[in-house]
Structure 1
Amino acid sequence: MSSSYRDLFVKASDGLRLYARDYGPSSGGALPVVCLSGLARNSQDFHLLAEALSTDMQRPRRVLALDYRGRGRSDWDPDWSHYDIGTESNDVLQVLNAAGIEKAVFVGTSRGGLITMALSAMRPALLAGAVLNDVGPVIETKGLVRIRNYVGKLPAPGSMQEATQILQQVSGAHFPAFGPDQWERMAQGTWHETDRGPVLSYDLNLMKPLELLDLEAPVPDLWKLFEGLKSVPVLAIRGENSDLLSEQILSDMQKHHPDLTALTVSGQGHAPMLEGPIIRAIRDLALKAEASLQT
């Protein structure tokens, strides 16, 4: 356990053990923030954001960053068909219930944004605000193809330094603004050190549901789910080089939502790293969500 967060383990409804990092004060007046990662990512991706929000001098708040089943420190599922949005949304609800969180601002990167939209339909009162990081109600097929081509198919690195180099080779064109520290953080969220060297921090079976997708067929849009966020303030983040969320869809999201702030991150693709000015924008969104509850 790190000194900046507590380890939280919760049993899912089917008995699998789920893990979350629990940062900051466990009680207080500030709205908590719940962080949901991308398909093959985990709670590591939110460390900088969580530390900043949980130690904010003026408004420290609790931050919960989850590992879905099959990722990070949560159990791998013996049935890969459970790696789906519905099951993972129910897992999130199970963790929040155990943590005693009844209302929060949700920060969802990619798949985490889809789960956030699903939760707005399943449990509308749970959401006080939402951050959608490089995801929206329409997903570009080009991005899905790229994700399917690398999830579970990365070369096995002999060291974390080699792991960083692999990610630069695979994703360098999408993240020309990244420096060494950012590539290292991305690698730390992809592999973890063991006695056998770096090992992927996700179940290789995550690729099986992707392999079943018919990418020749039109991808169904999720505008009805997105409508569920209309009652709360939303921050929509897009990487300038994103191949999953188009500029046009981001523009359409602004037209559909009365209280949506759009932010484009230059020099990054899918999905932008949550650091620097993005952290400040998320903090401002949380404060705005709190103010909305008081009016």
Structure 2
Amino acid sequence: MAGYVDGYWWSNDNLRLHYRDYPGGGDGRPPILCIPGLTRNARDFADVAERLSGDWRVICIDLRGRGESAYARDAMSYVPLTYVQDVERLFEDLKVTSYVAFGTSLGGIVTMLLGSTGKEQIAGALFNDVGPVIEPAGSARIRGYVGKGGSWPTWLHAARSLAEMQGAVYPHYQLTDWLAMAKRLYRLTSNGRIVNDYDLKIAEPFHLPGSDAGIDLWPALAPFRTVPSLIVRGGLSDVLGEGTLERMATTLPQAETVTIDRIGHTPTLSEPEAVAAIDRLLARVLAA
């Protein structure tokens, strides 16, 4: 039996969005909101949620266009500010006034923007391999694969394809690891083919003129200066640079930084170092 219930909410533009709701202990702790990366979905946090649930309520969302959430009619809504609005609607529905955010990659950017709105109290945050600056090499690599179609006849074929594409990110992975990742990233269609579990149109905003410029996200870290935070970096990351990590640590007095060796973008948060750091973060949240 699944340790979660499926929940749904509606966006401002009338999309039905999905989340997994893992129960907590009912002792008044703020829920943990897990926000996945660009091409990921709620399944990415299954191990984390299963480990923490019972003590913590864990809400793992599918951003619009991913997993069980509806695909947007307007591809230009696949941008962080819209994701923030979607999450704020979820908070309204669930009457969430305080929360701990776990944001992986894009999810970390959404976390920064959520904190800067000030509409709900941020009790703690985990930034998984992401910061206010995205390294050009990582940005180029992501642009090279996001939105590209593909299908495979079996999970084994999908896993091997994933290994060819991401082998440098997880150099120690075995076939069983790639199979597990494939089942988090892909879905089985009604015609028996395995495909990406996201709307390929999420890539369209990347092609807009000036999309490389981005915005200055350093000011968005200001609300996190006074709350416990954790920054996890893959030692091989091409997205979160060491210089950015050092500046984040200086900017956020209550931040702990942890680097996971032999991992690129992104750590799964199931690594022993990440598990221990998450427990320390949550202990600090409770003590705050």
So what's the TM-score if we normalise by structure 2? 0.94
**C-alpha distance in 2, partners of 1:153/1:125?**
36
**Which residue of structure 1 aligns with residue 285 of structure 2?**
289
Equivalent residue, structure 2, for 1:116:
111
Q: Could you tell me whether the CA contact under 8 Å between 1:34 and 1:64 is conserved in 2?
A: yes
Q: Is the 8 A contact 1:138 1:220 kept in 2?
A: no
Contact 1:192–1:198 under 8 Å retained in 2: yes
Which ranges of 4 or more aligned residues in structure 1 deviate by more than 3 Å? 217-221
Task: Supply the distance in 2 between the matched residues of 1:49 and 1:73 (Cα, whole angstroms).
Answer: 19
Change (3 A) 1:100 1:28: farther
Instruction: Work out the percentage of aligned pairs sharing the same amino acid.
Output: 36
Indicate if the aligned counterparts of 1:31 and 1:290 stay in contact, CA closer than 8 A.
no
Is 1:185 aligned to residue 180 of structure 2?
yes
Bigger shift: residues 123-132 or 83-92: 123-132
The one-letter code sitting in structure 1 at the alignment partner of 2:280 is D
Mean alpha-carbon deviation: is it higher for 271-280 or for 176-185?
176-185
Structure 2 residue 178 is the aligned partner of structure 1 residue 175: no
> For each residue in 1:152-181, what CA deviation from the matched residue of structure 2 results, as whole angstroms up to 9, or x when unmatched?
215321211111111110110121122333
Instruction: State the match for 1:146 in structure 2.
Output: 141
The equivalent residue for 2:20 is 21
The answer for unaligned runs of 5 or more in structure 2 is: none
Question: Is the aligned partner of 1:206 residue 2:202?
Answer: yes
Check the 8 A contact 2:49/2:58 in 1, yes or no: yes
Matched, 1:223 2:225: no
Counting only pairs closer than 5 Å after superposition, residues 57-96 of structure 1 correspond to structure 2 as: 60-96=55-91
Query: Which of 238-247 and 178-187 deviates more?
Result: 178-187
2:196 alignment partner AA = L
Distance (whole Å) between structure 2 residues aligned to residue 98 and residue 284 of structure 1? 30
Paired residue type of 1:288: R
Partners of 1:129 and 1:213 in 2: CA distance? 35
The equivalent residue for 2:257 is 262
Distance in 2 of aligned mates of 1:185 and 1:155: 18
Work out the CA distance in 1 between the residues paired with 2:4 and 2:102: 18
Letter in 2 for 1:231: T
Superposition deviation, residue 72 in structure 1: 0.5
Matched residue SS, 1:229: helix
Residue 26 of structure 1: CA displacement? 7.3
Per the alignment, residue 276 of structure 2 pairs with 280
| TM-score after normalising by structure 1 | 0.92
Give the gaps of 5 or more residues in structure 1: none
Counterpart Cα distance in 1 of 2:123 and 2:63: 22
Deviation (angstroms), 1:93 = 1.2
